[in-house]
Structure 1
Amino acid sequence: DWYDVIPLSDNHVAFVIGDVQGHNAGAATLMGQMRTALRAYAVEGHPPDVVVAHANRLLVDMETDLFATCCYVDVDMEEGLAWYVRAGHIPPVLRHPDGTVEITESEGGPPLGVLRQADFPMASLRLAPGALLALTTDGLVESADLDVEDGLDQLAADLSAADPAHLGVVADTLLGGANRDDDVALLLVRYDGMAVRPRRENWTVWRVPQAVGQARRYTRRVLRAWGIRDEADAVLLVVSELVTNALVHTDGRVRLDLTLLHDRLRVAVADNSPRTPIKPASIGWQATGGRGVLLVEAMASAWGTVPVSGGKYVWAEIPIG
């Protein structure tokens, strides 16, 4: 059994719980491979159903006799909205701020590694500040003497009576009656909302000769409205390079996104090409291109690229004093 917590872009976090068939070295090895695969597909920016579908095809292609179950939950920390997928796994249990508990209901897909072309339907959850989400494996709620439905009802009752302010105590309480004949994994998530919500603005970049200048003027207006002055030149240079790169090397729509959270401003440019910008190893003094990525790297504290719906967005973060 395993769990994982995966920070994603745009204030999203993925929470995963899983269970591989068996208790031997082969099962342990497969558990590590599945955990790594799910993390890799999640960081690529795919939605939950695609992440789980990719992991399923990978396990099928391994041609092992073992299968795995999992539950994958993607939480938007800003909005309090979660989308989740079940692959032969027991459902999440949600404790609302008023103490009522919901054993979530959704259509699930088959375990990973059973069918190559399997569907994994997504379901949504609304998390209010103070909500507590419990993900676990069947070792906690099922045994020879305990039916899984009765085990989930008992888990819900224990969650309802628990104090969500102290997750360690909640975990100890839930694990106190665990089935010691089977592995158990438990992941508790308390959603507190965000103390400061990000400020966001976006601009569609038209493919006209003055497009980069328009993007710079739009960015300058946003920075002025947000009270950012000292770092404006660095931000404008990053915007120029990212927008120029998208217009020169891709086709279709280009979008500029600006996000301010605490002391970080993120510039992101989305386009329709999956091709990732490559940092040149060296540039001769006579070269007429290739310096854009180096300039972005010099101006930003971090930068990267994320695949999105057949395209990508390239992002860079600039510290704000």
Structure 2
Amino acid sequence: LMGQMRTALRAYAVEGHPPDVVVSHANRLLTGMETDLFATCVYVDLDMEEGSAWCVRAGHLPPVLRHPDGSTEIAEVEGGPPLGVVTQADFPMSPLRLRPGTLIALTTDGLVETPESDIDEGMDRFAHALAVSAPGHLGLVADALLGNARRNDDVALLLVRYDGMALRPLRESWSVWRLPEAVRHARRFTRRTLRSWGVPDDTVDGVLLIVSELVTNALVHTDGKVRLDLTLISGRLRVAVADASPRTPVKPTSIGWEATGGRGILLVEAMSATWGTLPVSGGKQVWSEIPVGGA
């Protein structure tokens, strides 16, 4: 059952859903499995760029944070019931703010609960052990936390250290309205953004062609909202167009000279160092990466 739940959680996450939706979907799946068993879960979605995270609890222990100054904090995270208990349960999201050097520890009650003490005392001991550990080597931290674990219950431990980012990406977004001049507006937005970022002119024309093809495909073949995202970091420019259709664009295997369409994805592939699609909540994102110099 736990293997099925882990697979389900991973699948819902890959689809691009926010944490509360991921956990809600997993809860509905488990309640429909016709089993008397239930599962607890803590889910943390970490934004490495912003130094923030969203946390959702389903009957599970909250995360423990070790701050850069060595102090620890048992995160105050709202919680819902365990998975598989109530079909229409709410699983609220709680924010976590992280500074570079913060260590996040997730564990199960098998590590902190004993017959001699309750779970709150065990969490306090766990937080103290995390505080006196040396966060530079997570393997040694894990060894210290697991060293005195009593094996009368399953034990799981997950550690992650947020070190921040030495170089933050440049980002801009544009909502593409379904107007006759939509593609031209998207190109103008792209040109203006790339110029402000210092992207060389000999790169801009290729990027504009990619933007034109991706935006046109989204407008012609999908309904609903379309969004253009530009990201520049470490000499690589990423162009991404998100739409409301989950259908992945198909690259044609052959196109005759008389064909009037179907070349867009071939052009994107030819102009890109790499390209692909990603599922996002309610649709997909088609992206292209182009190396740029001099930015």
List gaps (5 residues or longer) in structure 1: 1-29
- The one of 274, 279, 287 equivalent to 1:306 is 279
Match of 2:236 in 1: 264
Is contact 2:65–2:102 with CA below 8 Å preserved after alignment?
Answer: yes
Shift of 1:106: 2.3
Instruction: Give secondary structure in 1 for the equivalent of 2:111.
Output: coil
User: Equivalents in 2 of 1:306, 1:316: separation in Å?
Assistant: 15
Shift of 1:283: 4.3
User: Equivalents in 1 of 2:225, 2:143: separation in Å?
Assistant: 52
Q: Does 1:60 align with 2:38?
A: no
Runs of 4+ residues over 4 Å off in structure 1: none
List gaps (5 residues or longer) in structure 2: none
Match of 1:131 in 2: 102
User: Equivalents in 2 of 1:163, 1:108: separation in Å?
Assistant: 30
Match of 1:316 in 2: 288
Instruction: Give secondary structure in 2 for the equivalent of 1:140.
Output: helix
Give the TM-score, by structure 2 length. Answer: 0.91
User: Equivalents in 2 of 1:83, 1:137: separation in Å?
Assistant: 19
Match of 2:170 in 1: 199
User: Equivalents in 1 of 2:101, 2:184: separation in Å?
Assistant: 45
Instruction: Give secondary structure in 2 for the equivalent of 1:203.
Output: strand
Shift of 1:280: 4.3
Match of 2:47 in 1: 76
**CA 35–299 in structure 1, closer or farther in 2 if over 3 Å, else same:** farther
Match of 1:11 in 2: none
Give the TM-score, by structure 1 length. Answer: 0.84
Match of 2:186 in 1: 215
Is contact 1:297–1:303 with CA below 8 Å preserved after alignment?
Answer: no
Quote the sequence identity (%): 69
Equivalent runs, 1:16-31 vs 2, <5 Å? 30-31=1-2
RMSD after superposition: 1.9
Instruction: Give secondary structure in 1 for the equivalent of 2:89.
Output: coil
Match of 1:289 in 2: 261
Equivalent runs, 1:33-182 vs 2, <5 Å? 33-182=4-153
Is contact 1:277–1:293 with CA below 8 Å preserved after alignment?
Answer: no
Match of 1:250 in 2: 222
- The one of 203, 209, 213 equivalent to 1:237 is 209
Shift of 1:210: 2.7
Describe the superposition over 1:160-207 as per-residue Cα deviations: whole angstroms up to 9, x where unpaired.
111111211111111011111222111111111111101012223333
Is contact 2:68–2:99 with CA below 8 Å preserved after alignment?
Answer: yes
